[in-house]
């Protein structure tokens, strides 16, 4: 600490001396979480502060560990499907998708085209709803309350659509090995079309509120920077890495479903900061809406009614191993299944995007202020159900 000279009253009267003589400065440790409103779950971040600057970050996870991987070894393949909903509970369809793809790859099942379109439609609706929830809570953390209300209004419409198709709003368990559980009900296509038509207009509300808002810009631009190379090295994936200028989207690089048949654009920004990640997700929502429209076009014309491939009654994949990954709303979601030829998986490993994304948090907040940690956690969009499994 520099010397600051000043007058001090002592027993000998006024004396000029170093004011900082007796002041000790050292690192202070601050606990953020496990119960902190901005962590969206039970995440504990320990920050080492020097003044107001962060010098070190340590993340403690595992508070929500439910042992899904061990659990999977005692359940049959179809039985584990509803459990995957509980991984990332706000985008259940995407979690189902990764799991059924892995089992289908193991068994070599070809899914009918209609089922593929339905799956893609559902996965994209999930992406919109997940991003809406992210935008709502992220804005709320940073201090914009009203966006929350608008986002939930649209999210509610999507949940209604889910309820119409499969009867549940959150833990949907709609996908099945070889297809989906049931065909789309009557009136669904019109209702979904209505949503896709009004969504872009409604999305303008969020832009009006925060896209150019000066407080929002000040809180997000040049905050929590991470370069693309560093991000890849640290395991960052999904919209978070696309905010750093890396052109990598599993829907493009290893297309599954019907992503190679529909037209859309990958959202990439090279700002590397919280604002760039925000822009990526905003664009992604609109692109998802486009994909939904095209899926609906197909489903409207198609009357094959084949929503499920013929699969054996007892699902018994041959011996072997398979890894299938999908672009979940948070990033690369992978399922690695080792089968020993019985009805239960021998080993099932879930590659959760949030788990990997959380690793780059210490790098993002190095030298930042405490308030920026909240923006950083929000910008990588962690869901603790998925981190801890």
Partner 1 sequence: MGENEKAPKKKLTKEEAIALAKARKAAKAAEAAKKEAEEPKVDLDSLPLVKAIKKEHAEAIEDIKFANNELTITVKKDYLLPLCRWLKSDPETAFDYLSEVIGVHYPKNEEKPLQVVYHLFSTQKNHRLRLKVNLAEDEEVESVYPVWRSANWYEREAYDMVGIKFANHPDLRRILLPEDWEGHPLRKEYPLQGPEGYREKWLRRHCRNTNAL
Partner 2 sequence: MGLISKIFGKDLLIGLNRTGRYGVSKPITMQYPKEKWTPYPAFRGTIRHLTKETEEGETRVRCNACGLCARACPAECIHIVGEGKGKDRVPKTFVIDFSRCLYCGLCVEACPQDALEMTSFYESAVYTREEMVFDLDKMLEDYSKWERTFKK
Q: Which two tokens stand for residue 112?
A: 């009918």
The three-class DSSP label of residue 44 is strand
| Segment interacting with partner 1, rule: CB under 8 A, options 27-35, 200-208, 233-241, 270-278 | 233-241
Number of alpha helices (DSSP H) and beta strands (DSSP E) in the chain: 15, 10
Q: Is 214 in the site for partner 2 (CB under 8 A)?
A: yes
Please state whether beta strands 53-60 and 44-50 pair in parallel, antiparallel, or not at all (unpaired): antiparallel
**379, 277 in Cβ contact below 8 A?**
yes
328: β partners: 331
- Determine the interface stretch with partner 1 among 169-177, 218-226, 278-286, 318-326 (rule: CB under 8 A): 318-326
Q: 308 has which bridge partners?
A: 179
Length of the chain: 389
Residue of 18, 171, 227, 306 interacting with partner 2 (CB under 8 A): 171
Nearer to partner 1, 202 or 351 (CB): 351
When asked if residue 222 is in the footprint of partner 2 (CB under 8 A), the reply is no
- Residues near 141 by Cβ (< 8 Å), separated by ≥ 6? 37, 38, 374, 375, 377, 378
| CA–CA separation, 132 and 94 (whole Å) | 15
How do beta strands 28-32 and 13-18 pair? unpaired
Identify the residue among 279, 280, 322, 365 touching partner 1 (CB under 8 A).
322
208 binds, among partner 2, partner 1, none (CB under 5 to 8 A by kind): partner 2
Is the CB of residue 355 less than 8 Å from the CB of residue 235? no
Q: Does position 78 bind partner 2 by CB under 8 A?
A: yes
181 binds partner 2 (CB under 8 A): yes
Q: Please check whether residue 63 is in contact with residue 388, taking contact to mean a CB–CB distance below 8 angstroms.
A: yes
* Site map 245..274 versus partner 1, x via CB under 8 A: -xxx----xx--------------------
Residue with tokens 């340590």: 58
Under 8 Å CB-to-CB from 151, ≥6 apart: which residues?
132, 133, 135, 136, 139, 206
Residue 170 as a binder of partner 2 (CB under 8 A): the answer is no
**Which residue has tokens 């956690």?**
377
User: Is residue 280 within 8 Å of 267, Cβ to Cβ?
Assistant: yes
Interface with partner 1 (CB under 8 A), residue from 31, 35, 74, 342 = 74
Task: Report how far residue 358's alpha carbon sits from residue 41's, in angstroms, rounded to the nearest whole number.
Answer: 13
When asked if residue 62 is in the footprint of partner 1 (CB under 8 A), the reply is yes
By rule CB under 8 A, what count of residues binds partner 2? 28
Q: What is the dihedral of CA 336, 341, 347, 353, to 10 degrees?
A: 20
Among 93, 105, 114, 330, binds partner 1 (CB under 8 A): 105
Nearer to partner 1, 103 or 373 (CB): 103
Stretch in the footprint of partner 2 (CB under 8 A) among 72-80, 316-324, 368-376, 377-385: 72-80
User: In this structure, are strands 331-339 and 347-351 parallel, antiparallel, or unpaired?
Assistant: antiparallel
Give whichever of 19 and 83 is closer to partner 2, judged by the CB atom.
83
- Is 356 among the residues that bind partner 1 (CB under 8 A)? yes
Q: How many residues bind partner 1 (CB under 8 A)?
A: 40
What is the rounded CA–CA span in Å between residue 205 and residue 38? 23
Q: Which of 9, 12, 25, 212 binds partner 2 (CB under 8 A)?
A: 212
Q: Is 252 in the site for partner 2 (CB under 8 A)?
A: no
**Residue 173 binds partner 2, judged by CB under 8 A:** yes
**Under rule CB under 8 A, residue 349 binds partner 2:** no
Closer Cβ to partner 2, 175 or 256, answer by number: 175
Tell me which residues touch partner 1 (CB under 8 A): 61-62, 65, 67, 69-71, 73-74, 105-106, 229, 232-235, 237, 246-248, 253-254, 320-323, 325, 332, 334, 336, 338, 347, 349, 351, 355-356, 358-359, 388-389
Tell me which residues touch partner 2 (CB under 8 A): 75, 78-83, 146, 153, 160, 163-168, 171, 173, 181-182, 185, 205, 208-210, 212-214
């Amino acid at each position: 600490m520099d010397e600051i000279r000043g007058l001090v009253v002592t027993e000998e009267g006024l004396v000029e001396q170093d004011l900082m003589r007796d002041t000790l400065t050292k690192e202070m440790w601050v606990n953020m979480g496990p119960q902190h409103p901005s962590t969206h779950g039970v995440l504990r971040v320990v920050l080492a502060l020097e003044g107001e600057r962060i010098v070190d970050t340590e993340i403690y996870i595992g508070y929500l560990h439910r042992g899904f991987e061990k659990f999977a070894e005692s359940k049959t393949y179809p039985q584990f499907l509803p459990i995957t909903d509980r991984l990332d509970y706000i985008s259940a369809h995407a979690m189902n998708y990764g799991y059924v793809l892995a089992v289908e790859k193991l068994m070599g099942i070809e899914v009918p085209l209609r089922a593929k379109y339905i799956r893609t439609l559902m996965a994209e609706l999930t992406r919109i709803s997940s991003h809406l929830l992210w935008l709502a809570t992220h804005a709320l953390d940073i201090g914009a309350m009203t966006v929350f209300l608008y986002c939930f209004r649209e999210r509610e419409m999507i949940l209604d659509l889910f309820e119409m198709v499969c009867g549940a709003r959150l833990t949907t368990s709609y996908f099945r090995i070889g297809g989906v559980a049931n065909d789309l009900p009557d009136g669904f296509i019109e209702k979904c079309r209505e949503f896709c038509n009004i969504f872009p207009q409604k999305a303008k509300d969020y832009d009006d509120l925060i896209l150019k808002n000066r407080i929002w810009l000040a809180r997000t631009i040049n905050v929590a920077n991470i370069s693309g190379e560093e991000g890849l090295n640290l395991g960052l994936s999904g919209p978070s890495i696309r905010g750093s200028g890396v052109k990598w989207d599993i829907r493009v690089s290893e297309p599954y479903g019907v992503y190679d048949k529909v037209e859309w654009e990958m959202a990439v920004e090279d700002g590397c900061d919280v604002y760039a990640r925000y822009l990526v997700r905003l664009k992604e929502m609109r692109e998802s809406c486009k994909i939904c429209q095209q899926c609906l076009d197909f489903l409207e014309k198609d009357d094959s009614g084949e929503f499920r491939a013929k699969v054996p009654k007892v699902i018994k994949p041959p011996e072997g191993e398979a890894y299938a990954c999908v672009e979940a709303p948070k990033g690369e979601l992978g399922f690695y299944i080792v089968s020993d030829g019985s009805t239960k998986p021998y080993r099932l490993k879930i590659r959760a995007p949030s788990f990997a994304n959380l690793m780059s948090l210490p790098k993002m907040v190095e030298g930042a202020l405490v308030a920026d940690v909240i923006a950083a956690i929000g910008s990588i969009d962690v869901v603790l159900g998925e981190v801890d499994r």
